[in-house]
Amino acid sequence: MAKVLVVTSGKGGVGKTTSTAALGAALAQSGQNVVVVDFDVGLRNLDLVMGAERRVVFDLINVVQGDARLSQALIRDKRCETLSILPASQTRDKDALTSEGVARVMDELREKFDWVICDSPAGIERGAQLAMYHADMAVIVTNPEVSSVRDSDRIIGLLDSKTQKAEQGEKVEKHLLLTRYDPARAARKEMLSVEDVLEILSIPLLGIVPESEDVLKSSNVGAPVTLAAPTSLPARAYFEAARRLSGEKLEVSVPVEKRGFFDWLFKRDA
Amino acid sequence: MSFLSNIFARRQQSSSVAKDRLQILLAHERGAGEAGESDLIRQLHKEIMEVIARHVAVDQDKVQIKVDRGSGCSMLEIDVEVPQELSGKRGS
């Protein structure tokens, strides 16, 4: 049974696209068939973060409008054969996405894949609501910062009211992914701690992704961090989060670097 | 840790300020739902202004509305500037 997962946040720039790519690649590396779908029409970036920007021919809107078949628009990742991407359109606007068209594409994707991961646009408008509408599960990406937490709370409200599950009287399974976390600053009480955010949002914790250079380095070269730097701290956090999504019970810990002399010595190469 | 350093440490904890602010704000936003509270304030403002307008001519630009949402109670403050000559007439 395929799972539809939406990666959402309300606020922009918190790491939705990065997390979509990283979680998608992590799940795909465990052998499951994964498609990542970009819903950010007009501002697509998932293709760029995944390194597929030069291979886009057709996009989600072409498929929704019947101008292309789904199989023509899907791009298979070159590094991981169980991972595919369905890009958004860069030139059209969000109104080109009809709810019936999206429903049809989602049904078709459910048949082909084990995981359909939808990268939501920022905001709470139509695009974000279409991205979350078909979701069985949601990953709410949040930074330990007041505006991000407030927007996440708003998105949680929408997940509980504006989704197909909600309309059927069911619940979308919600998971909190705390990104750009700095354990040292949280310990100095300069940053909201994991416990603070959990107490405010009261949804289960999927993982803590530390602030790390590796995330930017990976997007620079067009690879999910779980493919480009699989042993890095953020990648380890994403791999564990992916295992939790698959149903494994793993304790969530704050990832801390154990840095030895040799790590320090070779750090420059990275 | 001494008493003094305890006080200073507490003052530097910007994260607890952030947490408190969020908790108060979200308690209101969750309760308000879609349109709730902003509608209520708009309605209150409208009706209070109607009552005042029956007795004095009020310039809309001279009306200030402030809301302060606290954890225990909220305060709605409507500040109406009454024209000078009118308040003078009443007095005489």
Q: Which domain holds residue A167?
A: 3-266
Q: Is A163 annotated as a binding residue?
A: no
Q: Which of the pair, B88 or A229, is modelled with greater confidence?
A: A229
Q: Report chain A residues whose CB lies below 8 A from the CB of B16.
A: 189
Q: Is A251 in a helix, a strand, or coil?
A: coil
Least confident of A142-156, B10-24, B38-52: B38-52
- Whether B15 sits inside 8 A of A191 (CB atoms) is yes
A146 interfacial to chain B (CB closer than 8 Å):
yes
Q: pLDDT digits over A108-121, tens only?
A: 999 999 999 999 99
Q: For residue B80, is it left (φ>0), alpha (ψ between -120 and 50) or beta?
A: beta
What ipTM score was computed for the predicted complex, to two decimals?
0.77
**Domains of chain B in sequence order:** 19-81 (3.30.1070.10)
Contact A31, A250 (CB under 8 A): no
List pLDDT tens digits, range A50-89.
999 989 999 999 999 888 999 999 999 999 999 999 999 9
- The predicted model gives A121-142 an average pLDDT of 96
Roughly how many angstroms between the first and final C-alpha of chain B, as a whole number? 67
Q: Give pLDDT, residue B33.
A: 54
d(CA A233, CA A102): 36
pLDDT at A64: 92
The CATH number linked to A217 is 3.40.50.300
Closest CB from A154, A157, A200 relative to B19: A200
B47 or B88, which is more confident: B47
A196 to B25: CB separation less than 8 angstroms, yes or no: no
Which chain B residues have a beta carbon less than 8 Å from that of A145?
18
Q: Per the structure, how many domains does chain A have?
A: 1
Q: Which residues contact A168 (CB under 8 A, 6 or more apart)?
A: none
Test A200 with B23 for CB contact under 8 angstroms.
yes
Residue A185: closest C-alpha in chain B: B15
